[in-house]
Amino acid sequence: MKTYFIVLLFCSSVMSFALQTSKNQENFKLITYSTEDGGTIEASLFKGKKDLVVIFAHGAVFNKESWYFLAEKLQSKGVASLSIDFRGYGNSKTGTSNNLALDILGAIEYLKNQGYKSISLVGGSMGGAAILNALELKTDDVLKKVVLLSPAGGHAITSNSIEKLIIVSKDEGLYAKVNAIFDASANPKATKIYKGSYHAQHMFKSNYAEELTDLIVGFLTP
C-alpha cells in the first residue's frame, strides 16, 4: 500500500507540473526570426491588446524563460512582449558572427513586420550590453523606452527620443561603469541605485524584488 501511495503521489506531482506548464504556454507562442548574419533566434511572444511591445534580453547565466514573470505582468496590462534566447542559448543558432546586437536588431525588425509601432527594450548584464551595442549600430523611430539592469558593457545612448531607465547596485563591480554610461547618455533618463551587490537579474532575488518589478512595469506601461 505504501508503494502504491508513493507512485500515486509522484504521478499526481507530474500531472500538476504538466498542467501548470501547459497553462503557462497558453500565454505565449514560440516564434523564430533570422538575423542579418544568418542566425536563427527562438523567442517567446506574449500577445497583448496594445501596439506597445517589449523585448526582453537575458544575462549570460539566464535564458528567455527568466523574463516570463515580467512578461506575464505586462500581458495582464495588455502589453505584448518578446523574450529572446540569444544565439547559442536554447534552440537559437549562431550566424557568421558572435554579435549579440544582431539578435536585438533582428527582434526589432521581426516586431515591426508584425505591425508593432512602439517598441521598448529591457536587458540585464549581457543583454543590456547587447541592447547598447544594437543602439550604437542602428536606432529606429519605433524605439520608445529602454530599461537596463547593470549592462555589462556598451556605450551611452545618444538618442533624445528614447526614455531611459538604468538600474544598478551600489556595491557591485560594474557600478562605476554603469554610472558612467548613465552620465554620458542623453536625456530623457533616470537611474535607480539599490543598496547591496546584486547584479542585474539577480536583483529579482533580493528583498526589494517586488519594488523593482513594480518600478520596471510602471516605467514601461502607459
- In this predicted structure, the answer to whether residue 98 has a pLDDT above a threshold of 90 is yes
Can you give the pTM of this predicted structure? 0.89
In order of their start, the domains of the chain are 29-220 (3.40.50.1820)
Lowest mean per-residue pLDDT among 14-18, 45-49, 92-96, 190-194 = 14-18
Percent of the chain residues past pLDDT 90, beyond the cut: 87
Per-residue pLDDT band at 217 (split at 50, 70, 90): very high
Q: Which SS3 state, helix, strand or coil, does residue 4 take?
A: helix
> Averaged over 27-45, what is the pLDDT?
98
- State the pairing for strand pair 189-194/40-46: unpaired
- CB 63 within 8 Å of CB 89: yes
Q: Is the dihedral of CA 54, 96, 66, 166 positive or negative?
A: negative
74: left (phi over 0), alpha (psi -120 to 50) or beta: alpha
Residue range 111-154, pLDDT digits in tens: 999 999 999 999 999 999 999 999 999 999 999 999 999 999 99
pLDDT at residue 2 is higher than 50 = no
Dmax (CA) for the chain in angstroms is 70
Q: Which element (helix H / strand E) includes 57? A: strand 52-57
> Above 90 in pLDDT, residue 37?
yes
pLDDT of residue 14: 33
Per residue in 193-213, pLDDT (tens digit) is: 999 999 999 999 999 999 999
User: Cell numbers 549581457 correspond to what residue?
Assistant: 126
Q: Say what percent of the chain tops pLDDT 70.
A: 89
Q: DSSP letter string over 155-202?
A: -----SSSEEEEEEETTSTTHHHHHHHHHHSPSSEEEEEESS---GGG
144-191 pLDDT per residue, tens: 999 999 999 999 999 999 999 999 999 999 999 999 999 999 999 999
